[in-house]
Structure formats: C-alpha cells, structure tokens
C-alpha cells in the first residue's frame, strides 16, 4: 500500500494565491460583464526591458547555429552571469561574494522552498508573522511542525511584526512583550518585506547577524525586492553587514527587478564560510550541501534566459531596470496617498512594491467588499498569518491606468 507524506494533511487546503484565484474566478463567472483589476498577487505587468529582449533574440540565434548551440550548461549557472552578479550586486556595495558562491536558478520561491532540505528536521525555525507563506508551508511539508491550531503551527517560533514594533521583528529571546522564547536555529527574514513593505535598517540587520553568530544559527535572507529600495541608508544585501558571510544565505530574483515572473531567473548565495553542524557538533560548509542538492535535482536555467538576465547588469540594463521599478513605485505612491485620503493607515510602498493597509476590519470581509463593490483584487492580510488580520496587501504591480481606475473604484466603494 502506497502511503502519503501525512505532513501534507497539516497544511491549509490550498496555497493562499490559489485560494484567491479561485474566489476571483467564481466571482468572474457569476458576473461575466464586470471588469476586474488585479492588485493581489505580486505579478508584474510591464514588458521586459529592451536590453533583455535583445539578449534573448541574440541568444536564440546562437541556439539556431551548430557552432554556437548550447546543450546542458553548468547547473550553478554560466560564469558570465555569476561574475556579473558578484560584481554588480555585491562588490559594488562593498560585499565580498565570489562568483562560485552564487547558484543561478529558476526562482527565489523554489530556492526558499527547497533550501530547508539541507537542514535537520528537528531544528527550531523562526518565521515572521505576517510572512510569505512559502517559508511556512515548505517546513510543514518537511515535518518540522506540529498541527495547525488557530492559524499557527505548533513547533514554529513566530516573530510578530506589528505597528508596535514598526513591523520589524524583535530577536527571539528579546520579545517586545511576554516571556522569552527558546533559542532558534533557522531564521527566515525578508526585506524589503513581503507582505508589509517594511525595510530593515543596518542596525536592525546587525542585531540579527550577531544573534545568529552567537547562537550558531543561520539566517535565510529573502532580498527579492531589494531593487525597490530608494532610501540610501537601507542595506540591499545581508552581506553588507559585517559577519553575515558566516551565518546567512541570500535569495535574489530578476522577477520583480526586471519583470521576469514569466521568464524565470533568480539566484541564491551560499558563502563558503556558512556552516551547519552534525549531531556530534562537527561543522560542515552549507555550500557543499547546497551544491550537492542543486546539481542532483536541477539542470540549470536556459542559456537564453541567463543571457537576458546578464543584460540587466549592463549600463543600459541598469537604467531600464531603474525606470521599471520607478514606474511601479509611482503606482505605490498613488496607492499610499489614496489610502491615506480614505483615512486608512498604511505602511510600505516607499522602498517596496507592496502597501500594507490597516482596514480596521476582518481582512477576508474587506477582500470580498473590494471584489464585489469595486471589482478590485487585493490580498487579505490574514492569509500571511495571524498578525495580518485586519489588514490587506495592495500590490503596485499593474499599469498606471488600472491602478488609477482601481483607486477610484475603491474610493467609491468605501463611501
Ligand atoms: C506575492 O504576491 O507574494 C508574490 O507574487 C509571490 C511570489 O513571488 O511567489
């Protein structure tokens, strides 16, 4: 008899964004004449930067010619891309990352979900609340949690992010209130944050790095939205913090930076100095474990896609990506202003493409209200965790025309 991985039965029935898609599809079917504007899932709408398109065309021509055709590439990514990343995303910001510490992949979601495989199943994990659901669900699937009780899994240390702490979590043994909690081994941090749009200062990240060093813990730092940082004081990478090379793994993506959600290219940095420990306390470089996992289970990103990603790092590419992210930040500003005009408190949207709105009411009810009365899709905050109750996330990823229309419709619906 074939048996299932029963950890899957602990999960909520479906993934948050599938849930929302189903509700929207049902509404659409019932009201085929109503137009719907989607400010829910963070999916980009604007075309790829011209440099990426040119690189894709050129690489496609190379694939059409026996002399330049490419079969399997290196699983970790071509040197031309890894070198460009090391230079532009790290050396240029004073962070020392070698090209061979970079693993090119098809998405930060996959990497954030897969990385937990290289850690023991009985470690203690710390996850912010609210949080991008992938970090939680993949640990549930792996058996690192108990049952879900009232929206929280047993065995996870939740780091609450609320207005009271500026949406930046306190260190696990120093909660803003309440009893100290036990120590943690693996900490998921995401800045600029999905869903709140909050950013962490150098001092806040330094405290986390020191905590991880002291506790032989590892930080998984999701920096998928770093291209939206405009405040020059805010670090773009955890490796801008002294000592982070020994305790942090970082995830980056071209999805939100250069519109690659449908094109798929991302990367994970595992410095050779980050260690994990076996049961006897012996140190092992995590780089070797991730390399083993990556080469066993992944065959590399398509050559034309890596060429398109490398084009982002040319001068023209950097200008085009800046224009693209500026465009979405322009939408974010309109959303923030409109919410404030409606008397709703919100954060985010200044160094991030998400606006976290305190609706003062049940977040699914507010979601339904916007869908039914305004034909606008947002994301209910409670879908990101208990602390998200009362909030919704509005995404700035859409055309200007749609954002403006959505804001007018929301204002009319809330009158
Ligand atoms: C989101 O809406 O949170 C993102 O689109 C999720 C993702 O990037 O996978």
Name the residue with the closest Cα to ligand 1, atom 1: 42
The answer to whether the beta carbons of residues 46 and 329 sit under 8 Å apart is no
* pLDDT confidence of residue 15: 79
Please tell me the residue having the least CA distance from ligand 1 atom 9.
109
Strand partners, 159: 128
Q: Measuring from atom 4 of ligand 1, which residue has the nearest CA? A: 42
Backbone angles phi, psi at 160, to 5 degrees: -75, 135
Summarize the confidence of residues 135-160 as an average pLDDT: 95
- The residue to mutate among 106, 194, 385, having the most atoms of ligand 1 within 8 angstroms of its beta carbon, is 194
For the cut 60, the answer to whether the pLDDT of residue 46 exceeds it is yes
- Of 20-29, 226-235, 347-356, least confident by mean pLDDT is 20-29
**What are the contacts of 155-159 at 24+ separation with CB within 8 A?**
155/124, 156/125, 156/126, 156/127, 157/124, 157/125, 157/126, 157/127, 157/181, 157/182, 157/184, 158/126, 158/127, 158/128, 158/129, 158/385, 158/386, 159/126, 159/127, 159/128, 159/129, 159/187
* Distance (Å, whole) CA 401 – CA 151: 37
> Does the beta carbon of 110 sit less than 6 angstroms from any atom of ligand 1?
no
Above 90 in pLDDT, residue 104? yes
Poorest-confidence range of 19-23, 178-182, 207-211, 289-293?
A: 178-182
Does ligand 1 lie within 6 Å of residue 289's CB atom? no
What is the pLDDT at residue 415?
Answer: 85
How many angstroms does the Cα of residue 132 sit away from the middle of ligand 1?
A: 8
pLDDT at 150: 85
pLDDT at residue 201 tops 70: yes
Whether 180 has a pLDDT exceeding 70, the answer reads no
Residue 106: count other Cβ atoms within 10 Å of its Cβ: 18
**Best probe residue, ligand 1, of 18, 39, 41, 393 (max atoms within 8 Å of C-beta):** 41
Q: What's the mean pLDDT in 74-96?
A: 98
User: Helix crossing, 400-414 with 315-341: angle to 10°?
Assistant: 10
Q: Is it the case that residue 179 has pLDDT exceeding 90?
A: no
Residues 155-193 as b or e (16 or more Cβ within 10 Å = b): ebbbbbbbeeeebbbbbbeebeeeeebeebbbbbbbbbb
Say what the pLDDT of residue 136 is: 97
User: Comparing 114-123, 180-189, 326-335, 396-405, which segment has the lowest mean pLDDT?
Assistant: 180-189
236 lines ligand 1 (CB under 6 A): no
The reply to whether ligand 1 has any atom less than 6 angstroms from the CB of 138 is: no
174 pLDDT more than 90: no
Task: Report percent pLDDT > 70 for the chain.
Answer: 98
The CB of 21 under 6 Å from ligand 1? The reply is no
Q: How far is the CA of 100 from the centre of ligand 1 (A)?
A: 27
Q: Give the tens place of pLDDT for each residue, 307-328.
A: 999 999 999 999 999 999 999 9
**Confidence class for position 69, pLDDT limits 50, 70, 90:** very high
DSSP, residue by residue, 203-228: HHHHHHHHHHHHHT-EEEEE-TTGGG
Ligand 1 neighbour 170 (Cβ under 6 A): no
CB < 8 Å & 24+ apart, contacts of 309-312: 309/52, 309/81, 309/104, 309/254, 309/258, 309/260, 309/265, 310/55, 310/78, 310/80, 310/81, 310/84, 311/49, 311/51, 311/52, 311/54, 311/55, 312/49, 312/51, 312/52, 312/254, 312/257, 312/258
Q: Whose CA is nearest to atom 5 of ligand 1?
A: 42
Whether the predicted pLDDT of 178 surpasses 70: no
Nearest Cα neighbor of 253 from 43, 46, 107, 87 is 107
Checking if the pLDDT of 13 tops 80, the result is: no
Which residues touch 174 (CB under 8 Å, ≥6 apart)? 180
Quickly state the pLDDT bin for 151 (edges 50, 70, 90). confident
Name the average pLDDT for the chain.
96
- Look at residue 177 and tell me whether its pLDDT is greater than 70: no
**pLDDT above 90 (res 176):** no
The proportion of the chain whose per-residue pLDDT surpasses 90, expressed as a percent, equals 94
Could you tell me the pTM of the whole model? 0.96
130: Cβ below 6 Å to ligand 1?
A: no
Per-residue DSSP letter, 244: G
Span 159-163, average pLDDT: 95
363 lines ligand 1 (CB under 6 A): no
Taking the C-alpha atoms of residue 224 and residue 197, their distance in angstroms, rounded to an integer, is: 12
Tens digit of pLDDT for each residue in 218-271?
Answer: 999 999 999 999 999 999 999 999 999 999 999 999 999 999 999 999 999 999
Structure confidence by residue, pLDDT tens digits, 371-389: 999 999 999 999 999 999 9
Residue 397 clears pLDDT 90, i.e. is over it: yes
Torsion of CA 390, 395, 399, 400, to 10 degrees: 60
Q: Is the CB of 235 under 6 A from ligand 1?
A: no
**Does 194 sit in the ligand 1 pocket, CB within 6 Å?**
yes
The rounded distance, in Å, linking the Cα atoms of 197 and 347 is 7
How far, in Å, is the centroid of ligand 1 from the Cα of 214? 32
């Amino acid at each position: 008899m074939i048996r299932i991985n029963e950890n899957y039965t602990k999960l909520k029935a479906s993934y948050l964004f599938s849930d929302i898609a189903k509700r929207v599809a049902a509404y659409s079917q019932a009201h085929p004449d109503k137009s719907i504007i989607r400010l829910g899932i963070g999916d980009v709408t604007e075309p790829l930067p011209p440099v990426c398109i040119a690189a894709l065309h050129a690489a496609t021509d190379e694939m059409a010619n026996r002399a330049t055709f490419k079969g399997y590439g290196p699983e970790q990514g071509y040197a031309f891309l890894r070198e460009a990343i090391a230079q532009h995303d790290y050396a240029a910001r004073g962070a020392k990352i070698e090209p061979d510490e970079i693993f090119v992949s098809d998405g930060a979601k996959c990497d954030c979900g897969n990385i937990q495989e290289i850690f023991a199943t009985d470690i203690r994990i710390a996850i912010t609340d609210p949080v991008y659901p992938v970090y939680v669900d993949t640990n549930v699937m792996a058996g690192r949690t108990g049952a879900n009780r009232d929206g929280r899994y047993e065995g996870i240390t939740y780091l609450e992010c609320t207005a009271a702490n500026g949406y930046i979590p306190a260190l696990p043994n120093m909660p803003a209130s309440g009893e100290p909690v036990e120590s943690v081994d693996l900490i998921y941090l995401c800045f600029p944050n999905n869903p709140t749009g909050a950013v962490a200062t150098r001092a806040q990240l330094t405290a986390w790095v020191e905590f991880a060093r002291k506790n032989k813990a590892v930080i998984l730092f999701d920096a998928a939205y770093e291209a939206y940082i405009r405040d020059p004081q805010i670090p773009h990478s955890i490796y801008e913090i002294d000592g982070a090379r020994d305790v942090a793994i970082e995830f980056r993506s071209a999805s939100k930076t250069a519109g690659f959600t449908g094109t798929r290219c991302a990367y994970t940095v595992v410095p050779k100095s980050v260690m994990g420990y076996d049961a006897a306390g012996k140190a092992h470089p995590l780089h070797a474990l991730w390399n083993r996992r990556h080469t066993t289970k992944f065959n590399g990103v398509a050559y034309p896609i890596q060429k398109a990603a490398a084009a982002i790092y040319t001068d023209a590419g950097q200008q085009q990506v800046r224009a693209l992210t500026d465009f979405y930040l322009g939408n974010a500003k309109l959303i923030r202003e409109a919410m404030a005009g409606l008397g709703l408190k919100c954060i985010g949207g200044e160094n991030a493409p998400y606006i976290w709105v305190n609706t003062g009411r049940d977040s699914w009810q507010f979601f339904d209200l916007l869908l039914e009365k305004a034909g606008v899709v947002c994301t209910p905050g409670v879908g990101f965790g208990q602390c998200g109750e009362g909030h919704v996330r509005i995404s700035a990823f859409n055309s200007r025309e749609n954002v403006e229309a959505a804001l007018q419709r929301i204002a009319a619906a809330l009158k």
